[in-house]
Each structure stands twice: as C-alpha cells, then as structure tokens.
Structure 1
C-alpha cells in the first residue's frame, strides 16, 4: 500500500500549520531511515515510489496479540538508545545490540582507514610538490669546463692507448709511422719524452696500487689480444705474467689480483702468474672491467 506525501502531510501537520512541508517531510523520513538503519538507495523498510509516495516493505504483525503493546513499545523517546534498540528489534528480528555494535565498529574502522588514506595521499602530494618546487627554484647547475691547460704539444697521441699517471708523470702512446712509442710528460706540462720501453710496441695499461710496477702488454696490431707483463717502474727486465693473454687488464684495489678480458670471458690472475681462473662468461663482448673500491 502506497502512502502519498499529501496523506503524510495531513497526518503530521494539522490544517492551518505554516511550515515548509516538503523540506520537513524529507527531514523526518531521513531521521526515520537513520533510526531503523534503512537506506533510500537500497531500502529494506521504506521504499520511495517516484511521483506517488512511500511504501512500507517490512511485514507488519502484532506482538503478543496486542496492538497496544506495539504502540507502547514503539512510542519511545528519540533520545533513548535502549528503546531505540527495542523498536529496531521489533521491526527487524535479525537486529540486535551486538550486531549494531559490530556495524558501528566496522563503520568507524572504515572511516579511520579513509582518513589515513586521505592523509597519506595528501602527504605524498605535499612532499612531491615541495621536491618539484625546490628543483624549479634551485635548478641543479650543469657541469661545465672552467679552465683547460695544455700539457704537451705531441700531435700523434693515440687515444686507444689510454692515459696512465703516477701523480707526477703522465704516460701515453704516440703513433709513429708503423709502430707506437711509449711517451711520458710531467703533469705540470712540458715536452713529451720517449720512454725506453721493453718492446717495440708496448702498451701501458695501469700502475700497481703501490706504484712499483707497470702492467703492460706487447702487441703488433691494435685489436689483437696481447700477452700481459709486469715491468718495474724503476726499470729493468719485464716479467711475463704466467699464461695471461687478453686485453683491458685492471689491478684490484689491494694489488693482489688482476682482472682481464679474453674473448667473451673475464679472467683473474695473481701478479706472480698463479691462480689463473675464469671468472665469468658474457654473451656479449666485454670491455674495460673495473673493481669496486672495496675489492
């Protein structure tokens, strides 16, 4: 059975009453739904019938055969929570104080979770905005060359040979016709001088961590893998480093091992030529292996 808004208006407000009937009726229905935990979008008790009125969905029956008992039990004070529970229990037998408490706790937890999510998103937005503003206001300056100093006037320097320094001198390769010369010059600049290298084509790869030995290679063509040697800084005969043949060797930070490339593999070997072992194989062609500072 549908009850029209006009019927509700006539029942609630006597003739001659001057109020905002539509607004007051909507407010009364909202409070009634809240009291019985009903939802206008998914109603269990009070259904809104568009352009007609309202329909009560729940079954209506007498309690203990007495309409007066229902009237007395439902005629409660709005501020009494116990009477409110009793009314809800009579309208919905499945409703109980325990269920109400559980629903209340779940609603509060959902509200707290939503607040935390909002707080977290707001915090992230503030942090990101601050970070972005900082880099806009204080941009990181681009590195630039401030000054250059010419060290040598040599014109045949071969970049393939690399540059090695012991702190006071700089060593490099100079391409001279069909062979290469091992050259040195002061870090302060000056004329480059030819070093008395042990081989016609000697490439200097690195200086040992204790600055006592050069790690060198003997080569004929630039792209060939070459035998590896150790050569005393103070001069003297070079010493073959076992059976090591490869390219791009590098000392370990403590000077106890040397790593180098041969083919597609990385090898390590001790400076005395012992403990040669394959460290890793690469599907690509590795170049210039380097040790971490801690070895």
Structure 2
C-alpha cells in the first residue's frame, strides 16, 4: 500500500469513505471488498485530485521493474475492479476520468474540496485560514454592539451542553466481542446446534442417519432423542420450550412432513397437513412459519389453516428467526440456480420484504442469523473473509439517534468454520457448531474387513483413475483444490487454486484433460476442462445455468452432464459435442441427475429426482429403464472398467452400504457395510470411488466437528 502517513485519517468523496492507512473502503458505512492494487491506485489519485496521474507513475510505484507481469493488462484489470467498487463508469465518470494514452484523474470532490485543489496544498490552507480570520475580524465588533458578553457566555454554554448531549446520544458503544470459548462435545460427528431450553442443547446429528441428540449446556456426551423416523432433523423449539419442531424423511426429498416432538420424550404429533422445509414458531406461540419451494407460509401453531405470505426469487432456507418482539422475521434466500445466499427480512403479514445487508458483500454469502434475546444485536455467519465461515454481528436500530443497523462486526477469525448459532435464554452465551476440516483417504480391504490408508491417507477424496490405470485425479480437503499424481502418489501436480472450489474430477479417455465442477459459493456450478499438465481451466460450455456431474464418452468427443437449462423448472441430462459445441438433451431425462457413461458407450446410468432409484439409458433403443431402487439415497455412480457393473453408495438408511449392480440384473450386491464409518462430509456430501481393481475408496472423517459455547460481551 502507498505511503499514507501524511494523509487525513478519512477521505470522503460522494457516499464513500476511505481510510488511507488501512485501505478500508466503505459505502454509506458498509465495508466494500477491495484490496491490493485497486486501493493503491485510489490513494494515488486522491493524493492529487484534479491532476493527471500518468500510467508511467502508476507502473513505477505499483509494478516495479522486477515484477514479471503484463503491466497493461494488470492496470486495466485493477481499474475495472476499482470502478466497479465505486459504481463508476469510464464513459460517464463521476470520480475517475481516463486521459487517453496518458493516465487517469480524480474529478470528484474530496473532503468537501472540488477537484483541482488538494488538502495538502499550502496555498489552499493559507487561503482558508486568512479568509476565516478576516470574517471573524469584521463580524466581531457587530456582535459586540448587539450582545453583551454575559449573553455570549450563556449562549455558548447552552450550545456546548446541547452538543455534548447530542454526541453522547449519537455515539456508538464499543463493538461486541468474544470473551472465552468452551468446547462442549467431543465425538467428531458432523452436527448442527438447533435450540436450547436453558439446560440442554438440541442438535441435528449427521451420522449413519440423521438424528436428533441432546447434551447438557455444560458439555459432555450426547444422547439420542428417540423418534420413529429413519432420518430426523430439528428446526427449532417452542416458546415454552416443551416441544421441538422436527421433520421426518427417508431420502433426499426437498419437502418434508412437519411434526411436533414433545420434550423430554414422547410421541411426535403431526402438524396438520404441512409439508415444507425449515421453520419456527412465533414468540407468542400462536403461529408456525415454514417454507415450501420458493414460498413462505404462516399457519396456526398446530399446522392448521396455512396461508402463503409471499413468494421469493430463489429458495428460502436455513434458520428462521423472529425478532423478540415478533414484528420481524429473518431468513436466508439462496438465489435462483444456486445463486448467492443472503439474509432477508419480512413482516409477519408478508409485507416489507427486503435484504438485511444490501451491498455489504458481493456476491453475498451470509446465512444462519439469530437475534439476541433482548433484540439489541443480530448475529449471523458469513464467508466474506475466506478461508471459511465466521461469526458476525450487527447492532440493531435503537431510538432517534440510531435509526439504522450498525456496520457488521466480525467476532471470529478462524481456524474453526461455524455452521449454526443459538443463544442462551439470558443472552450471555452463544452456542455454535463449528468444524476444523480434515479427512483420511482409506480403502476397504475385503480380506481383513478393515479400512486401511490409501495414498498414505492424505486428506482427499473424489478419486478418478485414468483409463490406463497409471494416473489418479483427486480433490484435497478442506482446500477443495484439484490435484493429479501417479497411482503411487509420485509426480503430484496441483491443477487449481482458490477461489476455484473443485469437485467431481473425470479423466478424458486419452488422459490429456480432466473435467471438473467449480462450485464456488454464490455462483452457479460450472463445468471446466483443464490440461492434465496444468494450465488455465476453460469453460466446457459458456452459459449462466448450473452444470455438474460431467462424464466422458468413450471416444472422448462428447461429455454428458446434468444441466439446469434457462427457463426450466428441473434439471435434465445434456450432451455436448466438444468439436462443434452443439448441445442436445437426452430424451426423457427431465428431473434426472448424476449421469455416468459406460465404458463401451452403450449406456448412460443416472439417478431420479430424489436419488432413490438408479436408471439406465440405452443409446440403441433411446429409452430409459428403471434399474435398481434402494430404501435410502443412491449416490456416487462409478462404472467398472469392463462396463459390467455400476458401483454406488446407499446412505441415509438404517444400513448404509457400498453396493454394485450388474447390467441385466435387477438386484444389487452388498460389498461394504458402512455402519460405524464416520465419513467426511464434503460440500458435495459423502463421496466414494473405486480403484482400477474394484476396491472401494472412502474418506474417513478426522475433523474437529463440535459444539462450542462463546461467552460474550455485548455493550
């Protein structure tokens, strides 16, 4: 960053403020994500408002001679990022004017001074001082004639008192902070804290199946809460803390039946005919708010008489939080087609739908917000500062002098990544589920019936082997970077770097390329191709719709993939010709996903909408065949090298397993019982694979995945 020791502590222009010492840029008090060379360029321009700053000057200060980059491209990119942050237009600029073939000039007013005058200009400072003293010299005698000195003292005293009172009323208390952190659980199982009754914490636990467990707020071992469901999740607790709002389900259906589960034990009771996802009861216990598809509903507390409040653009999900006074509801909206996640607010009557943090981060990645019991603060999670999700808070509006929420305060900075938040009833503790990721790659040995380390037990998964069996591609955890190496682990090469979040790699038949999906937060999933020797990834198909699950044709000329076409209400399976870039849709594939092309090219395996059924498309007959149905969720399809079998997981069932199905048969074969294996849960879920000899591969979970109590200071 440029030397800024001689600059004012704050530079104001338009609706923006810049601290030249830290490089922090704010818009209407909200922090703007901008750093590096764009900030350095802005400081140089603000040092000389109204004057030309040449490209040569910028190169000398920001791109020294020993910097081996393309200066012209680097400067142009930096200026684009700076103008985007300032909402400025190169054609009709408000702040930064381009001087063709020379450089740039700042044309806006800085700290109230218009362009052409610098705050460091001695003549300007002297002119201001002389002008001010002259005015006072002329005005003084007139005031002396009009008022006696006693009146002057009285007026000045009143003004001073009023000013001090206003400053005290409008001043902000110090930010909230974490005083201490205590780990409460120690089992390493993936979990989300959902609610507390003041003595126990209630948790959704992701083990072999999804279940609801409880633990003392002082910590200790968790114990399950019995339910009749194969899989159960909790969403919240009633205001009188006597029942949990729960959902029971079997597979990956998007909407569930909602139930009330008595505490400390008892049989669940169906809440009317409600079917949806996520929800909560109102603070007065009279109403139930829940989501279904893109709609927000409100019903009576027992689930009867549901009515739609509104429909949103995207999918409402996650924690539903009422303000303590019951006048506002906040929740997360995931943008259409896996767009950005942001926190929104609505009134209980369905009115006044609006984002809570507009323009704070771009793209927004904020979710899981909860109010403090007294309503003074709102805590939430955000990915604004990689490498993971941290806890943030805003101070809520309070009174005449604080009509707007404060700028968000960051309370944690890693290394733990936080997932869900719950306040204690007295507001002194924040209970949070948090994780520090690590996995161990293992192979199942059928002789010893043990899981043994593979590739030295690296923290990785999603392995795919080249057709000749010499190379392997994999994704490292938790970095989500793509690597390739020989099968013995030698000749390792990292192929992707952040911000790319890589998944599901697939080798081309000639081993020259690898297809993979990039699933960055806040952006649609996109499929990319990259050389196995490294280089720049390139889009398989330039479009804004999500793509996933790429699978190569045996001749390497085509790729089949799952796709959400523009205007479609469901995904389909498409095939792209890599030479012509022509895209076609596989007949009858609407609602299907996870395609896998057989090595002989005759079949395409896929899953139905809720991943409970394996289907087979025959390219000769151009028809789909219902092949295998499982009681749980089917996933991670892999063909054997000879094309005789499809290997897959069956999860979210009482007996999770790794299985295979033979083409031509209608039943599957159990290969590995997965009960008791604590599997690593990646952003794409549980992942498995097979080696060239058919051995099963998994990633064992070695993460720290626990519940913590954060003691807070809330001024």
The TM-score normalised by the length of structure 1 is: 0.49
From the CA coordinates, give the structure whose radius of gyration is larger. Answer: 1
Larger RCO, structures 1/2 (Cα 8 Å, 6+ apart):
2
Point out the structure with the larger strand share.
Answer: 2
The TM-score normalised by the length of structure 2 is: 0.22
Point out the structure with the larger helix share.
Answer: 1
